[in-house]
């Protein structure tokens, strides 16, 4: 056993059994969010934790839950963890299974897209912890297969994302069904105003753990902006991927665009998978697991993956489309440079994205550097007769909207040798 792990986590007041599981799972030492959040959570205090993506927030709430539940008799579920996506819920479940083994803490996952009857069978095993997405949890509550009267601990993980996804009514219904006397833990990388209102209604005299200011990005991320046009985006992406060998996570704004881009990259010889909300649960698992194992070098995803992917050593995050919400930019690029590693984040910006870019930079508190070789558009200036000109040409506000992305006409890169990996997609 790594004695440094043992001593560092021992200082947090953890049991010998959990210390052994932490060492076995490869936890080297408590991260700042873990070091500051675990002691008050162990003491039963409500906690609001804000830290950069990839800093160990999941373990920061799983560890005290395991220790506290080990002291209670087994019966009805006594802890509820709410997450915005199926992927994040499954990752939380995996962490519980790793760290709760010696303490004999069990959990079951309640997410949409999975067999309801299988979930009911899991509930009959009397798990200590429910890990759930809001919609499917409410389905069970309405059917009478889940009662929340026994819950003593509630975790809202990535609560801001749940609000962004429109889950506020469901969360309020769930909060109303929970006992008033409970411990509440809330963790996120950002704390926008709408989340602050939810916090006021759901926590009691909380300990606030702010490892970094809201919307801080990891130091190891090298950010860049590529100015381009809609028609040139696909070629630019092919050029970037062809000039490097890193794994790449590519974000699009829509599911349809993710599918089309996945087909394009597959035809170009890249090992690619696609992940979005219209994929079945089995397809989403196959895409994510294949990306983790290296079967796929590129994963094209919508914002479902901005907070649902915990994959080590993603080399490059590419925003093919800028996100609608500036906070999602922080979560997207936080998929790289996790746990003090390094990585790159490149964003494609068209003339129509200027307002979104300004909002992102306002949130970050600094400008995103322009990539070498990319030229920022000149400021728009008035022209006689109304309208604006930029770079000597009328702006898009006085022209027809540019054509959709030219996937069909994107140039296919030359394959250097016959040993190039066979292109694969997950579309089945």
The DSSP annotation for 214-259 comes to TTPPPTTEEEEEEE--TTTHHHHHHHHHHT--S-EEEE-SSHHHHH
Residues 169 and 258 placed together within one structural domain of the fold = no
Instruction: Give the model's pLDDT for residue 8.
Output: 83
Residue 275 DSSP class: E
Stretch among 203-212, 285-294, 381-390 having the lowest mean pLDDT = 381-390
Residues 280 and 205 placed together within one structural domain of the fold = no
Q: Is residue 417 part of a domain?
A: no
Residues 190 and 295 placed together within one structural domain of the fold = no
* Between 327 and 295, residue with greater pLDDT: 295
C-alpha 67: how far from its chain's center?
26
As a whole number, mean pLDDT of residues 320-345 equals 85
Residue 292 has pLDDT above 80, yes or no: yes
Q: Which of 182, 210, 238 is the last residue of a domain?
A: 210
Give, for 155, the enclosing helix (H) or strand (E). Answer: strand 153-157
Residues 61 and 170 placed together within one structural domain of the fold = yes
Residues 188 and 231 placed together within one structural domain of the fold = no
Residue 320 has pLDDT above 50, yes or no: yes
In contact, 137 and 174? CB cutoff 8 Å: yes
Give alpha helix (H) positions in 100-232: 116-123, 134-143, 159-164, 168-177, 193-202
Q: Is residue 316 part of a domain?
A: yes
Residue 124 has pLDDT above 90, yes or no: yes
Residues 256 and 349 placed together within one structural domain of the fold = yes
What percentage of the chain carries pLDDT values higher than 70? 83
Residue 203 has pLDDT above 80, yes or no: yes
Separation CA 272–CA 421 (nearest Å): 11
Q: Which of 210, 236, 269 is the last residue of a domain?
A: 210
Separation CA 78–CA 43 (nearest Å): 16
Residues 169 and 239 placed together within one structural domain of the fold = no
The domain total for the chain is 2
Q: Is residue 350 part of a domain?
A: yes
Q: Is residue 346 part of a domain?
A: yes
Q: Is residue 392 part of a domain?
A: yes
Residues 250 and 110 placed together within one structural domain of the fold = no
Mean pLDDT of the chain, nearest integer? 84
Tokens for 21?
């599981």
Q: Residue 185: give the domain boundaries.
A: 3-210
Q: Which CATH number is 19's domain given? A: 3.40.50.300
Residue 342 has pLDDT above 70, yes or no: yes
Backbone phi and psi for residue 74, each to the nearest 5 degrees, phi listed first: -75, 140
Write the pLDDT tens digit of every residue in 231-269: 999 999 999 999 999 999 999 999 999 999 999 999 999
Residue 358 has pLDDT above 90, yes or no: yes
Separation CA 24–CA 189 (nearest Å): 27
Q: Give which of 423, 387, 145, 146 is closest to 262, Cα–Cα.
A: 423
Residues 97 and 123 placed together within one structural domain of the fold = yes
Residue 177 has pLDDT above 50, yes or no: yes
Q: Is residue 75 part of a domain?
A: yes
Residues 138 and 241 placed together within one structural domain of the fold = no
Using pLDDT thresholds of 50, 70 and 90, give the confidence band for residue 308. low
Instruction: Give the model's pLDDT for residue 4.
Output: 43
Instruction: Give the model's pLDDT for residue 5.
Output: 43
Q: Is residue 423 part of a domain?
A: no
* Between 127 and 420, residue with greater pLDDT: 127
Label residue 354 exposed, middle or buried (CB < 10 Å: 0-12, 13-18, 19+).
Answer: middle
pTM of the model: 0.67
Q: Is residue 145 part of a domain?
A: yes
Instruction: Give the model's pLDDT for residue 307.
Output: 62
Q: Give which of 382, 51, 335 is closest to 212, Cα–Cα.
A: 51
Residue 209 has pLDDT above 70, yes or no: yes
Residue 40 has pLDDT above 90, yes or no: yes
Instruction: Give the model's pLDDT for residue 277.
Output: 82
Residues 101 and 160 placed together within one structural domain of the fold = yes
Backbone phi and psi for residue 271, each to the nearest 5 degrees, phi listed first: -85, 105
Q: Which of 187, 210, 233 is the last residue of a domain?
A: 210
Separation CA 352–CA 233 (nearest Å): 13
* Between 128 and 399, residue with greater pLDDT: 128
Residues 143 and 115 placed together within one structural domain of the fold = yes
* Between 428 and 370, residue with greater pLDDT: 370
Distance, first Cα to last Cα, the chain: 44
What phi-psi label fits residue 269: left (phi over 0), alpha (psi between -120 and 50 degrees) or beta? left
Stretch among 54-58, 172-176, 282-286, 375-379 having the lowest mean pLDDT = 375-379
* Between 167 and 55, residue with greater pLDDT: 167
Residue 43 has pLDDT above 90, yes or no: yes
Stretch among 3-12, 181-190, 245-254 having the lowest mean pLDDT = 3-12
Residue 189 has pLDDT above 80, yes or no: no
């Amino acid at each position: 056993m790594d004695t440094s792990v043992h001593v560092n986590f021992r200082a947090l007041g953890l049991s010998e059994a959990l210390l052994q599981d932490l060492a076995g799972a490869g936890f080297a030492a408590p991260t700042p969010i873990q070091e500051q959040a675990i002691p008050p959570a162990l003491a039963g205090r409500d906690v609001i934790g804000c830290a950069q993506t990839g800093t160990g927030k999941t373990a920061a709430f799983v560890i005290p839950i395991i220790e506290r539940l080990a002291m209670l008799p087994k019966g009805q579920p006594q802890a509820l963890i709410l997450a915005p996506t199926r992927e994040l819920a499954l990752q939380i479940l995996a962490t519980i299974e790793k760290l709760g083994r010696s303490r004999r803490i069990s959990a079951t996952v309640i997410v949409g897209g999975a067999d309801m009857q299988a979930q009911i069978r899991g509930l009959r095993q009397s798990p200590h912890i429910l890990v759930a997405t809001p919609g499917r949890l409410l389905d069970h509550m309405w059917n009478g297969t889940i009662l929340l009267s026994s819950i003593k601990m509630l975790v809202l993980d990535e609560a801001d994302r749940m609000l962004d996804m429109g889950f506020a009514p469901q969360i309020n219904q769930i909060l109303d069904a929970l006992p008033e006397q409970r411990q509440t833990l809330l963790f996120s990388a950002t704390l926008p105003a709408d989340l602050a209102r939810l916090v006021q209604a759901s926590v009691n005299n909380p300990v606030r753990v702010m490892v970094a200011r809201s919307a801080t990005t990891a130091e190891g991320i090298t950010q860049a902006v590529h100015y381009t046009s809609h028609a040139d985006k696909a070629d630019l992406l092919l050029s970037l991927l062809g000039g490097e060998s890193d794994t790449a996570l590519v974000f699009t704004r829509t599911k349809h665009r993710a599918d089309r881009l996945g087909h394009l990259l597959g035809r170009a010889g890249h090992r690619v998978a696609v992940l979005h909300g219209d994929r079945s649960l089995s397809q989403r698992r196959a895409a994510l697991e294949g990306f983790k194992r290296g079967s796929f070098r590129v994963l094209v995803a919508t914002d479902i993956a901005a907070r649902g992917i915990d994959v080590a050593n993603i080399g490059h995050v590419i925003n093919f489309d800028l996100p609608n919400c500036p906070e999602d930019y922080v979560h997207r690029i936080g998929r790289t440079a996790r746990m003090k590693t390094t990585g790159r984040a490149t964003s494609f910006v068209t003339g129509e994205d200027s307002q979104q870019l300004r909002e992102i930079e306002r949130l970050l508190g600094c400008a995103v550097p322009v990539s070498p070789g990319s030229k920022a558009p000149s400021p728009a200036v008035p022209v006689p007769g109304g309208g604006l000109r930029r770079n000597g040409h009328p702006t898009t506000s006085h022209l027809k909207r540019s054509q959709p992305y030219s996937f069909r006409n994107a140039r296919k890169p030359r394959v250097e040798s016959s040993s190039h990996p066979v292109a694969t997609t997950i579309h089945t």
